[in-house]
Amino acid sequence: MTNPTSGRWAGFTWQALVARVRSLLLGAPLATSVQLEHRLPIIFALPVFASDALSSVSYATEELLLVLAEYGITDLVLYISFAIVALLIIVGISFRQAIHLYPAGGGSYSVVRDHLGRIPGSVAASALTIDYILTVAVSVSAGVAALTSTFPYLREHPGPVWLAILLIILITLVNLRGTRESGWTFALPAYSFVTMIGILIITSVYRYIAAGGNVAPAPVPPNVITAEPGGVFGFLAAFVIMHAFANGCAAMTGVEAVADGVTAFKPPEATNAARTLMILIGTLIFLFLGVGFATYIYHARPSETVTLVTQLAAHVFGTDIQANYSAILYYLTTFATLAVLMVAANTAFAGFPRLAAIVARDGYMPKALASLGDRLVFTRGILALTVVSIILVWALNANVTRLIGLYAVGVFLTFTLTQTAVVRRILDQRGPGWQRRLIIGGIGALATGIVTIVIAITKFADGAFIVLILIPVLVLIAMLIRRHYEWFDRTMIVHDYDYNPLADQPEPLTVLVLISSDIHRGILEGLECGRALTAHHPDSVLRAVHVELDPEKSARLKAKWEVFVEPYLGDKIKLDIVPSPYRWLIEPVLDYIDWTDLERTGDRVIVVLPEFETGNVITHFLHNFTARRLRTALLNRPHITVVSSRFFMRPMAWRLGRGGLVY
């Protein structure tokens, strides 16, 4: 005799399959007690939270230079770089203060909420949300563009869009495994990029000093973007310089992520986060000024086909390995830049879920975003960011030019609000040295405010208007969510003076067991469930309800009813057959419930849905269609309690025997 539970698929349920795949991809669940062990030290926190800011070095100077080249004033690149660095220092100091003010995380949102109010706080959260989504879309699309430039055949198979989607999914999986795993994964690209750009800068400075300031200019690349100097005066000159300054401020995007993710650091969280931020600011200053200096001394020009970093690396290291072994550094720089661009989106995956969790705890986002997953990360926030980013990349065809127009408005609006909030706090508390901190904060708020306006104006037609529309819409949605939660609390919270149904006698029950056209073990289990519910309620009613879709089957049902039910339940239950001449199912059941409400006013109506489980993932979806439809309809009816009575069959074993498949 064949053992029905033997075989490869015995006991293999859908839940077991999901759990097995989940464990394979994400790892085993982590207990809350080990949470501190999975916090990040500074060495891993830097690549996790700074990959976006670090990667922006590869294109920020080029974005700045593109504006200057159109008017032939590229020699201003170094001076504007110094201005951006000054602003970066001011912003860094403001966020350092924010970290110590709010060691529980939240960064810009928490500072703005507490010192400027709920609506400005929601504006900051909305702007940051948009910026994080765009960080993923822009960074991944830029990485894919660099990848397809290096390997052109990838443009056709599988194409930029599918490559970008695949990359987003891979970054998602790494982050779902936990912060410690993401730190290990993204450390190599980030530190490799810093190392190679650092070597490029040091080599350039050494050659400049060794040559007495007279180094050979870089070769002019193909499709160079430049113009003859002259013709830029007055207001136009000021506007061009501000436009270039705004473009170059792309180097500052991502520095806010450290303040948003303080809770991911090892204790003491605020101290380690502040140190990480200062290391990030110092590294950015070195890299950004270094690339700007190399661009200035080598008179590099932006090109439509060759990136600025690629030009500098080719000129400094050479490209022919046979002629010069230092050319290997050119290829290492290229691949390091490619790698850091492809993982730059991780900053958003590290920052947004934690920001969303804090905003959700305040009631301005769905509260499900505040729950930690089984790998001690905010799983729902990561998945939400993934879905929206994929949609955006797909909708805009992974086109960096179309995406970049939406970028940076939100982050600089957040910078402005944050520094304004810090100024407000300084004025309120006026501690030691408050005048100096007030001047720094005021200058920072004014500067970032001007940059925000310039970015909004210069990039308005390129898509910035979408962000300017989206932010008020998201703020309105946040306020509506908060209003709902406040209404929910007023409605659901129990007070001493409220009516308590537990203080009264139990209500009489009307229990309806919905049965199919046959009496099988699942139906008997459902009838037993109904009997158990009414056993201790003498005034209750138990009924079996069958919707007649086929009169011939009803006759067979009555015959089996007399054999299997009546001898045991007798007059304790009544079988009602509801005709359905149009073969409808849901409507007759709802009409019957309405009739029951009129007949038994005041009863609690309980509907029992008999279901059964086959114990096999392959056959699970071949049953219970009717029960699923009825449950969906009944759960939307007030004052109805739905009970699922589940009969579990023995797991079915599938194996190949002499006569075919043996069950």
- What pLDDT digit, counting tens, does each position of 395-452 carry? 888 877 677 667 778 888 988 898 888 888 888 888 787 888 788 778 888 888 888 8
Residue 381 banded pLDDT, cuts 50, 70, 90:
very high
Neighbours of 7 (CB within 10 A): 18
Of 449 and 11, more confident: 449
Confidence label for 365 from pLDDT (cuts 50, 70 and 90): very high
d(CA 291, CA 201): 7
**Model pLDDT, residue 366:** 92
* Residue 485 vs residue 344, higher pLDDT: 485
44 vs 548: which has the higher pLDDT: 548
State the average pLDDT over residues 2-7: 41
Burial (Cβ within 10 Å: 0-12, 13-18, ≥19) of residue 156: exposed
Answer yes or no: is pLDDT of 228 > 70: no
- The residue-averaged pLDDT of 73-81 equals 86
List beta partners, residue 541: 510
Q: How far apart are CA 339 and CA 192, in angstroms?
A: 9
Type of residue found at 609:
L
Evaluate if residue 536 carries a pLDDT over 70: yes
Structure confidence at residue 33 (pLDDT): 53
Nearest to 93 by CA among 420, 419, 435, 431: 419
pTM of the predicted model as reported, rounded to 2 decimal places = 0.76
SS3 134: helix
Spans of all domains in the chain: 36-486, 507-656
Closest CA to 113 of 138, 105, 604: 105
Non-local CB neighbours of 281 within 8 Å, separated by 6+ positions? 88, 89, 92, 255
What is the phi/psi pair of residue 608, to 5°?
A: -100, 125
pLDDT in tens, 584-643: 889 999 999 999 988 888 888 999 999 887 776 667 677 777 888 888 888 888 888 999
Which positions ≥6 away from 201 have C-beta within 8 Å?
Answer: 286, 287, 290, 291, 293, 294
User: How many Cβ atoms from other residues are within 10 Å of residue 203's Cβ?
Assistant: 17
Q: Is 367 helix (H, G, I), strand (E, B) or coil?
A: helix
Are 264 and 36 spatial neighbours (Cβ–Cβ below 8 Å)? no
**Burial code of 326-355, b = ≥16 C-beta within 10 A, e = fewer?**
ebebbebbbbbbbbbbbbbbbbbbbbbbbb
Q: Characterize the bridge pairing of strands 655-657 and 640-648.
A: unpaired
Confidence of residue 51 (pLDDT cuts 50, 70, 90): confident
Q: What is the pLDDT of residue 1?
A: 37
pLDDT at 82 over 60: yes
CB 408 within 8 A of CB 250: yes
221 to each of 229, 304, 305, how far by Cα in Å? 19, 9, 8
Cβ-contact 376, 123 below 8 angstroms:
no
State percent of the chain over pLDDT 70: 87
C-alpha distance from residue 123 to each of 93, 96, 442 (Å): 22, 21, 20
Query: In terms of Cα–Cα distance, which of 185, 132, 143, 181 is closest to 165?
Result: 143
Using pLDDT thresholds of 50, 70 and 90, give the confidence band for residue 12: very low
To which residue do tokens 């810093």 refer? 194
Domain topology for 507-656: Rossmann fold (3.40.50)
Give the pLDDT of residue 289.
94
- From residue 287, how far is each of 30, 81, 120, 215, 443 by CA, in Å? 38, 11, 33, 20, 24
Residue type, 18: V
* Residue that the structure tokens 């720094």 belong to: 440
Looking only at the bridges linking them, the beta strands covering 604-613 and 509-514 are parallel
Q: What are phi and psi of 604, to 5 degrees?
A: -85, 120
pLDDT over 60 at 7, yes or no: no
260 has pLDDT over 80 = no
Which residues, listed in sequence order, are joined to residue 647 by a DSSP beta bridge?
612
Which amino acid type is present at position 545? Answer: V
Q: How many CB atoms lie within 10 A of CB 528?
A: 17
Other beta carbons less than 10 A from residue 435's beta carbon: 10
Farthest CA pair distance, the chain? 109
Is 1.20.1740.10 the CATH classification of the domain at 36-486? yes
SS3 362: coil
Q: Read off the pLDDT band of 292 (50, 70, 90).
A: very high
Mean pLDDT (the chain, rounded): 82
- Structure tokens, 505: 């006698």
Residue 613 is given by DSSP the state: E
> Which residue intervals of 535-624 are DSSP H helices?
551-564, 566-569, 586-599
**27-31, 62-66, 90-94, 178-182: which has the minimum mean pLDDT?**
27-31
Tell me phi and psi for residue 591, to 5 degrees: -65, -40
Kindly tell me if the per-residue pLDDT of 355 is higher than 50. yes
Q: Is the pLDDT of residue 11 over 70?
A: no
Element (H, E) at 420: helix 409-429
Overall average pLDDT of the 301-325 stretch: 81
- Helices 42-55, 179-210: inter-axial angle, 10-degree rounding: 60
- Tell me the C-alpha distance between 469 and 631, whole Å: 40
SS3 category, 38: helix
Task: Specify the pairing of strand 655-657 against strand 574-579.
Answer: unpaired
For residue 287, the one-letter residue type is: L
Cα dihedral sign, 645-648-654-658: negative
Q: Is the Cβ–Cβ distance between 635 and 31 less than 8 Å?
A: no
Q: Which band of pLDDT confidence, cut at 50, 70 and 90, is reported for residue 37? A: low
Which three-class secondary structure state does DSSP give residue 279?
A: helix
Task: Write the DSSP assignment of 93-155 as a string of letters.
Answer: HHHHHHHHH-TTS-HHHHHHHHHH-HHHHHHHHHHHHHHHHHHHHHHHHHHHHHHHHHSGGGG
Instruction: For residues 600 and 540, give the distance between their C-alpha atoms in angstroms, rounded to a whole number.
Output: 10
What is the per-residue pLDDT across 143-180, written as a single tens digit (0 to 9) for each? 787 777 667 777 777 788 998 899 899 889 888 887 66
95, 277 in Cβ contact below 8 A? yes
Distances (CA, A) of 464 to 207, 409, 410: 42, 7, 9
The answer to whether the beta carbons of residues 141 and 398 sit under 8 Å apart is yes
Q: Is 105 exposed, middle or buried (0-12, 13-18, 19+ CB in 10 A)?
A: buried
Between the two ends of the chain, the Cα-to-Cα distance in Å is 11
